[in-house]
Amino acid sequence: MFTAIFLNKKDDGATEARLTRLDDTQLPTDGDVTVRIDYSTINYKDALAITGKSPIVRKWPMIPGIDGAGEVISSIHPEWKAGDAFILNGWGVGEAHMGCLAQRARLKGDWLIPRPKGMSARTAMAIGTAGYTAMLCAMALEEQGITKDSGDILVTGASGGVGSIAIAILSGWGYRVIASTGRPAEADYLKALGAAEVIDRAELSVPGKPLQKERWAGVIDAVGSHTLANAVAQTRYGSTVAACGLAQGMDFPASVAPFILRGVRLIGVDSVMAPKAKRLAAWQKLANDLDAAKLDRITHEIALSEVLGKAPDVLAGKVRGRLVVDVNR
């Protein structure tokens, strides 16, 4: 038996979420690796699934949790054996395949990556999909030739998980980072992570001109909608915007002007289905480059029993940084 967050659909279509005990017969049969989860986390997508605010869950019943870290219990996959330490991010887990807000999971070995040497399961989940996505965005800027000498880098949604870790990564690499947030009280927190300046998201979140004063040598955007459109409109000639989120909305009310008149590059960053080689590179960089003290500042640990109460706070933007879930309490 093991403890899990368990989601079911009621007759009226509403989502029922509860903390309960399950047994191995209730795990998926299409996985080839059975794992012990030591730590998980609550991402925005998990909060949507738990609250039923969006049709994230595509198969019922479901255990949410798109991230997990722990050790292999048993495996028929050739690359994994009992005792191996792993990280899981994405691949539709917690949506179409039972996830990791539980003490046990059955997953496909092709979805797992080895946990970098010296990285604990708790640290891996303090980073989680948010931090891994932030690193993919930072790497995208690097790959496009944006260096620490190129100029200011804008990070939107700065108080959230992606934004917080993006600031820590980029400042650690020597970039000058400008943080955009709707929570001015978090300015000291963001500066402690490495932000050189903090601006109010209101500067970006309302409709703006299609082409504006050039400000940014690069952008990491986790917000979308008008914020992304304004960030693109303010990006300098030949520079790059990495887009990875939709906290403000899925729309993109922009024009082609920045692309055809300034040669701005807009790069979409996906973490869910990213190929293994890119995942391995990102996680190794996180192990090598992310300041442990800054990560601790970003992280708040909760018990599995607290998850249902915290999910609405995640959706309401009341959570700073990262929530790590100890599934054994």
Domains within the chain, CATH numbers bracketed: 2-115+293-326 (3.90.180.10), 129-268 (3.40.50.720)
Single-letter amino acid code for the residue at 176: R
Binned at pLDDT 50, 70 and 90, residue 70 comes out as: very high
Q: What is the mean pLDDT of the chain?
A: 96
Distance CA 101, CA 86 (A): 15
Report how far apart, in Å, the C-alpha atoms of 306 and of each of 107, 132, 233, 310, 323 are: 24, 24, 41, 6, 11
| 107-140 confidence digits (pLDDT tens) | 999 999 999 999 999 999 999 999 999 999 999 9
Residue 142 has what pLDDT? 97
Which pLDDT value is given to residue 286?
A: 98
Q: Sorting pLDDT into bands at 50, 70 and 90, what band is 316?
A: confident
Is pLDDT at 321 greater than 90 in this prediction?
no
Residue 317: predicted pLDDT: 82
The rounded percent of the chain whose pLDDT value lies above 70 is: 100
pLDDT digits (tens, 9 = 90+) for 208-240: 999 999 999 999 999 999 999 999 999 999 999
- 313 Cα distance to chain centroid: 16
Q: Is the pLDDT of residue 54 over 90?
A: no
Q: Which helix (H) or strand (E) holds 45?
A: helix 44-51
Determine the Cα–Cα distance for residues 249 and 172; give it in Å rounded to an integer. 30
Average pLDDT over residues 151-156: 98
State residue 319's pLDDT score.
86
- Residue linked to tokens 């690069």: 218
The pair of three-digit structure tokens given for residue 272, joined into one six-digit string:
């869910």
